[in-house]
Homo-oligomer: A and B are copies of this chain.
Amino acid sequence: MKVGVAGASGQMGSLASTTLLESDDLHLIALYDAYTAGSIGGIPISQSRDTLDGCDVVVEFSRPEVVMDNLDAWRRFGANVVVGTSGFDADRIEELRELWGNGPGNCLVVPNFSIGAVLMMKIAELVAPHYPAAEIIELHHDRKADAPSGTSIATARRIADAAEGQRRRVDSEEIVDGALGAVVDGVRVHAVRLPGLVAHQRVVFGGDGEVLTVSHDTIDRSSFMPGMLLAVRSIRDQKEPVAVGLEPLLGL
């Protein structure tokens, strides 16, 4: 399978490129980056989109402001595309469906390439109906811009949806503001910010005499690569022209 990377000079794009180079079954043949030249493993990073013409799969890690134009090009080239660029909310997904039509290739938008994070959220959803209450603790390095994290908010929403009507009554009185954390769709979320941490989340389910906890600890970006490789290897088998997320590929 011939693979190209768009946004190859960025952090994720260059990591994806070196990971693809080390793969036995995938062949990295071309790199594109609109802004920055260079080369990875002897493959030049071109500033022309045409360099990706002929790829079976394009891995797209460019910026939100250019991604739609890129996708239009990859579609015309007949490529399948795995999209890791951020910013794909419901509106943009709709816009993409219109743009992409029936391909001819397939397009998979992946909001989170971490297999562990995807599994954690799925597990939380499975477990939620069986416990009267849950809280989330997420812990990140102290330079993270926002609190709570996007993943913790997404997890809280999925717990709330899965455990319809499940709402723990908090009897505790907050004698210092904020002690009980943020409330997201009825689920308490606590954000810890400290140097020495990277990206961690614990989802704690409490029941009679027992607690079930799902924890995910990420130490670096390499954690995104197994999900990227899985998407590249699976995309030609995708049933619909446009899909979102790794879940179906994990059999969930």
Q: Find the B residue at minimum CB distance from A134.
A: B194
Nearest-neighbour CB distance to chain B for A140, whole angstroms, equals 8
A206 at the A/B interface (Cβ < 8 Å)? yes
Interface residues on A, range: 35 or more
Inside 8 A of A170's CB, which chain B residues have their CB?
142, 193
> Could you say which of A23-31, A79-87, A90-98, A144-152 contacts chain B?
A144-152
- Option from B137, B183, B215, B220 in Cβ contact (under 8 Å) with A212: B215
A211 with B190: in contact, given A178-B182, A182-B179 (CB under 8 Å)? no
Asked if A73 is at the interface of the complex by the 8 Å CB criterion, the answer is: no
The chain B residue with its CB closest to the CB of A251 is B129
A120 to B146, CA, bound (A): 31
CB < 8 Å neighbour of A183 from B116, B171, B178, B206: B178
Contact residues of A with B, CB < 8 Å?
114-116, 119-120, 123, 126-127, 129-130, 132-135, 137, 139-140, 142-148, 153, 168-184, 188-198, 204-226, 250-252
Starting from the known contacts A195-B206, A212-B215, 6 additional A-B residue pairs (CB-CB under 8 Å) come to A148-B176, A177-B182, A192-B204, A207-B223, A209-B221, A209-B225
